[in-house]
Chain A
């Protein structure tokens, strides 16, 4: 076991992790630990843009942005956090520009802006141009720019190191604090422990719980599950965003920018059906509404294709030159993967699991909550892994790129400030024992179950029962299946027994994380007997502010039981209100 010592350890090298690293790296001795090379992170797949009320092309202000974020999240948004994000958005975009990000420009040479779903002028009057973008590869440019700046500031990276556990110890005041993390070096199979004064989780989402997803294969919720296993609750896990326009059957993302630039959705009758569901802003309604409308069209028999299982994204009324200038990548995806020419043919699309609104609960300083009231000194989280909560029950398009930049920066600053005042906690001798035992159990296991099969069954049941439409019955069915799969997981074996690049072993570890998170997600969904944002219960189709205007908090606790499901403890956390009263959410 090798031990490394750093003031700040950042887990994950995507947008949030590297944004934090740029701040922390200039203030404290910082290590970034990532299971991928930084430029492979999934921030790079984000396409459309990053919203900030720069008002470069039309009147706008950050207060409208705050309102849109809160309304988009169906009022489950912590309003102090939304204010911070919308206000700091402007600096976040300007920071990136100064770091070198090549934004598209207006004729005057300023950062260009375009429309995006749910972003409106003056509290919902009409769509507004708020998203700053670089063609349809804004995420790619952000990831590259952040990595470039990490290179500039000589940030230390540990690439292809998997973080498998967090070391939490009690300090002299009896407060549980992080002392470091346990990692696995993919190249050598060695376990390394990183001792740290503060730890930042920036490890991304868990989209691979689902079969149809825009998420990368590596998005297995490692950070969330590790936090959960260390007694930290997960907040609002029932809220998953299904992006309306995934390429049918594949789930590959087609940016909302396609609709922002004028693309529209049609059903098999050629009807622009969003006119019925959101008469004012139509195809630019928030994602949960569009996704549900699409699923409803298909359910009512107006789907397209031989199996009537998708709808069409129509760009054919746009000029090819306009499409080439603004949406080059996604039109290429349609050509490559579906053989469809978007200039002349509509593109088959269907909702795809895209983003986890929930995650590790944090406050606006990115400090992680130990429970509904207290935070854990020295532990931070930012990005998709965290739940601040700025997205509430449904994230608006572009707000994730904003989230990672605003709260990534905050996490980096506050974590290094904390590290300047705190001492290292000793790493217990047995810190890595549980991890080593878990790895050895998989390596030595003589079981008959295979990782691939269990994962496939998990993803299929989650797609069937926990997608856009949910009922108590489907959720219970999902939980029952997950519990069966958990039992089978105990009897798993990996074929690769070696130490070098044993991805077989790591996939088995990741499956363990996925199973756990799927269960948390289902339990939280079972509890929420209402429909709000990304969580739609057919048995409770209305929002119920009286009983459910609060965040759900799920703990892993062997002694507890919730609704007949053992090992889970359930709690709630109040929503922070500042100035916006909940209203009906109509577009």
Chain B
């Protein structure tokens, strides 16, 4: 790190041609098809189509907001931070699990209507809102918390930079359920723990400060545990945080095998 401080940045530099930001924002028409479901009105789900004018920098979440705020207030979806860190707005956009706030219109094929559906495998409650309880249940079952029975140090526990790096990837998880609900195995009967639970187990199993790795491996050695992973990589592809989920699951499998022999 020291070498960075040695170089005090220049007081003044030439700024290259203007880049990024607000340059020439174009407007265009977008057609969206949104899967609607409201059991108060009908047991049947249906598709609604909306045509809205959007800007080049807009995201799918902006479309949903525009529809909700200007056309149909009854459209229901979850959202909060709107920049991909809270994990509220995972949905199926053009058949792929994405966060609506992280999917830019310029990255989609706008010549066809954009389709938006709730994530699969969890029971739909209304429009794009699903019941997240089963998802969090699986999360709770893998004991997602540090267990350390040793004596409490007066200061922090020490951990080397390498040991900290070992589980860095899986600490990024925001529990949006994009991975679990993209997994064909989970779609069948919801019994599989699912990628998200395994990712969060991985975060503790490979944390050098934790003592309950064995218990978590035991939990995931279940008939519905890691062995149901078919390495389809759907989860890795769906993860908005870029976590190498399938790799993490493979590492947990290896740890279970290593423990048995």
Contact = CB atoms under 8 A, between A and B. Distances in A.
Interface of A: 36-37, 39-42, 44-45, 93-94, 97-100, 102-111, 134-135, 137, 140-141, 144, 148-149, 151-152, 187, 216-218, 248-250, 252-253, 261-262, 264, 266, 268-272, 275, 304-307, 309-310, 312, 314, 317-319, 322, 329, 333, 336-340, 345-348, 450-453, 494-504
Given A216-B86, A272-B12, A44 B161 contact: no
Chain B interface size, under 10 / 10 to 19 / 20 to 34 / 35 or more? 35 or more
Contacts of B5: 262
Nearest to A262: B4
B175 A39 contact: yes
A interface: dominant SS: loop
A110 B161 CA distance: 9
B171 to A, nearest CB: 5
B14 interface: yes
B74 A270 contact: no
Contact of A37 (B68, B83, B132): B132
A337 B83 contact: yes
Contacts of A110: 155-156, 158
Contact of A268 (B15, B129, B174, B204): B15
A102 B76 contact: no
B104 interface: yes
B180 to A, nearest CB: 14
Contacts of B41: 498
Given A148-B144, A306-B23, A504-B74, A40 B80 contact: yes
B160 A134 contact: no
Given A39-B87, A262-B5, 15 more contacts: A37-B136, A42-B86, A98-B152, A100-B209, A102-B168, A105-B161, A134-B171, A151-B144, A152-B145, A249-B57, A269-B12, A272-B11, A338-B21, A452-B68, A500-B38
Contacts, number: 224
Contact of A249 (B22, B70, B204, B210): B22
A109, A141, A319, A345 — most chain B CB neighbours (10 Å): A109
B260 interface: no
A310 B21 CA distance: 9
Contacts of B81: 40, 42, 44-45, 216-217
Contact of A495 (B39, B73, B84, B155): B73
B68 A41 contact: no
B189 interface: no
A495 B68 CA distance: 10
A339 B20 contact: yes
A346 B15 contact: yes
Contacts of B4: 261-262, 318-319, 322
Contacts of A339: 20
Interface in B64-84: 68-70, 72-74, 76-84
